[in-house]
A and B are shown apart, each in its own frame.
Chain A
Amino acid sequence: MKTILYIIQKEFKQIFRNKGMLPIIFVLPLLQLVILSNAATFEVKNIKFGYIDNDHTTTSRALIEKFNASTYFDVLTDFSSEGFAKSAMLKGEIDVVLDIPNYFERDLQKEKHNSLGITINAIDGAAAGVENIYVNEIVQNFNQHLKVDLLPLSNQQIQPINIDTIPLFWYNETLNYKTFMVPGILVLLVSMITLFLSGMNIVREKEIGTLEQINVTPIKKSQFIIGKLFPFWVIGMGLLTVGLLLARLIFNVPMLGSLVLMYLYTSIYILVILGIGLFISNFTDTQQQAMFIAWFFVVIFILMSGLFTPIESMPGWAQMVTEFNPIKYYVEVMRMVMLKGSGFTDILPQLIKTVLYAIVMNGLAVWSYKKTN
């Protein structure tokens, strides 16, 4: 026990003396949290909107006014012909083009229906989909008012019954993107920093040759490993604490669930990450190698964690793969506990899987750590 304590003490001394590493541990993650949470948003805003008005009537102008009034659209240009609109879109100056045909008002009044041309830049398919919905909503809305204006009073009685849907957004009532992202980015920080640091740490001893010296001493494998990894467990928990504080103070993210539960889950989750880190360092000889392998896994784990893209929309085989992704469970748990206020029994499935993962990973890591070649 005394040995472990001394190794832990030594590790902390080394961490705090490493002037290059300190900011990476404590400053970069927080910058990341602040920057990523603000920037990484899927909300489509400031859509660059252009139109071709071939009609020039009060109705067509009223329609364009509707777009102008929307906060989602920046009405930029009035194109005199389709050709100009096309080239503007090609140059990327414009994302959406509305084409109002000739005699739009006249035909609408005579024939009671008409069509509009909408062209959307769909290089980013997801954004194009959202833009389409916004455009439709505005046109629908315009349509309703138009009916009231155009149809004679007697006809109003036989108007078909409209079904209106008024959605209630539970757990994130205002659809605030940050509320959704902050817990996820917090996960990213805790995972990345602890994995990189633990992966590089034992390799570093290999690189500078101290591991060989240690291996000739009577120190036990378990003592050495616990002593080496415990400081990073502490750092991981520290990062979680600072991250939660920032989430509360800067982003005002609701924390409905119990903090104790979050810390309990994180304490086990970090064990998984440290196990992976140790496993990587057993199979590498230099810090570069360890870093690259850690990066490889982190990128895959993060992209397949449901942090940015929903797991439900992945193909079947990919959903199977995510079952083995510890970051996925952590993202789920953090969102559930923070936003939904889930209790212990709700996160029990994730907790059990994580405990199993921790046992398997650390078992493999300890087994593959050899003092003798």
Chain B
Amino acid sequence: MGISVNHISKSYKNVKALQDISFDVKPSELFGLIGPDGAGKTTLFRVLTTLLIANEGTATVAGFDVVTDYKKIRSNVGYMPGKFSLYQDLTVEENLHFFATIFGTTIEENYDLIKDIYVQIEPFKNRRAGKLSGGMKQKLALCCALIHKPKVLFLDEPTTGVDPVSRKEFWEMLKRLQQKDITILVSTPYMDEAALCDRIALIQEGQILEIDTPEAIVKHYPKQIYNVRANNMYQLIKSLNDYEYNHSVYPFGEFIHYTDKRKDFNPDQLLVFLKSNQLSNIEITETVATIEDTFMELAK
């Protein structure tokens, strides 16, 4: 009853946007599509929300085929596009009322579902949607996507351009919705949000790299990662890149994530090498892999 995608391929003139994508989302699962811009996330959303017809493959959403049963899908899913796409010249309440009406329902009927979210924007219900802040817009869009009590909710990069506090709140809301038996497919370019999903699919250049729970994906990481820090960041990156045994070097906040080619790597050897490169205050500690590390490794 969730989402089932079987060998979906879609290409625009010269670009292969999706290549042989297959995955399943279980009912009331929070499933994340993680990938950089241009990976094909939006195309996949458009195929699943019946806006686009795939060249090959089949897919079902809430048990309905995306091509033959598209009408049923349209009344059973909620879609929140990446770009804010409500009527900016209508007020909060009017937007909500509009979407309730075209779904053949009323705000009152499904109020309990959106109550938690709507109470936060209710003080502004007579304000025009275009005049809301980014986080408020996001909440309104979510309300509009939920007003008809959908079985499946599609959220295309819902937190792009939203401040960290609102982002956190947004994910808490998703977690609560999940409790109400709504299957959620969410895409995001932020790796830190991936850890909040039940399962994630890493996607790049139209292909799925890996599908698993965030914990399992991290465990798949084959090497030990070291946090490296020194007095001169730029010099440090340069030196590490010149080091003959390096496997990967990525800046990660205040540290460099470093992995070595050798199985019997001893950090002291690296310390000696870095000192010989006129670096001081060097710090090398072991750390655990994150989803970002895994993604970079898989995307290599």
Contacts and interface: CB of A to CB of B under 8 A. Distances in A.
A46 interface: no
Contacts of B85: 208-210, 212-213
Given A6-B101, A372-B70, A213 B86 contact: yes
Contacts, number: 68
A142 to B, nearest CB: 69
B75 to A, nearest CB: 4
A217 B104 CA distance: 10
A209 B89 contact: no
Contact of A17 (B52, B89, B104): B89
Interface of A: 2-3, 6-7, 10, 13-14, 17-18, 208-210, 212-219, 371-373
Interface string B76-114: 010101011111111000100111011110000000000
B87 A372 contact: no
B101 to A, nearest CB: 4
B90 A216 contact: no
A372 B84 CA distance: 20
Contact of B74 (A13, A218, A373): A218
Contact of A216 (B74, B89, B97, B101): B74
27 contacts: A3-B102, A3-B104, A6-B97, A7-B102, A10-B98, A13-B89, A13-B90, A13-B94, A208-B85, A208-B87, A208-B88, A209-B81, A210-B86, A212-B81, A213-B79, A213-B86, A213-B144, A216-B49, A216-B50, A216-B51, A216-B74, A217-B99, A217-B102, A217-B103, A371-B51, A372-B52, A373-B51
Contacts of B87: 10, 14, 208, 210
B103 A215 contact: no
Contacts of A3: 101-102, 104
A7 B101 CA distance: 9
A209 B75 CA distance: 19
B84 A209 contact: yes
A13 B95 CA distance: 12
Contact of A218 (B51, B71, B90, B97): B71
Given A6-B97, A216-B77, A218-B103, 7 more contacts: A3-B102, A13-B89, A208-B85, A213-B79, A216-B49, A218-B74, A372-B50
Nearest to A219: B102
A14 B129 CA distance: 12
Interface in B264-278: none
Interface centre among A3, A212, A216, A371 (most CB of B within 10 A): A216
A6 B87 CA distance: 14
Interface residues of B, number: 29
Interface core residue of B87, B88, B90 (most chain A CB under 10 Å): B87
B196 interface: no
Nearest to B145: A213
Contacts of A209: 81, 83-85
Q: Which of B71, B77, B104 has the most CB of A within 10 A?
A: B104
Contacts of B50: 216, 372
B53 interface: yes
B71 A6 contact: no
B55 to A, nearest CB: 12
Nearest to A2: B101
B157 to A, nearest CB: 13
Contacts of B83: 209
Contacts of A216: 49-51, 74, 77, 79
A215 B73 CA distance: 11
Nearest to A370: B51
A6 B102 contact: yes
B213 to A, nearest CB: 29
A32 to B, nearest CB: 27
A244 to B, nearest CB: 32
Contacts of B79: 213, 216
A258 B86 CA distance: 45
A215 B51 CA distance: 7
A112 B84 CA distance: 90
Nearest to B154: A216
Question: Which 6 pairs, one residue from A and one from B, show the smallest C-beta to C-beta distance?
Answer: A209-B85, A218-B75, A6-B101, A216-B79, A218-B74, A219-B102
A218 B148 CA distance: 11
Contacts of B88: 208
Contact of B104 (A208, A218, A372): A218
A115 to B, nearest CB: 73
A371 B79 CA distance: 15
A372 B51 contact: yes
A216 B97 CA distance: 17
Contacts of B70: 372
A127 to B, nearest CB: 49
Nearest to A227: B102
A189 B75 CA distance: 41
B74 A14 contact: no
Contacts of A208: 85, 87-88
Contacts of A372: 50-53, 70
A281 to B, nearest CB: 17
Contacts of A210: 85-87
Contacts of B97: 6
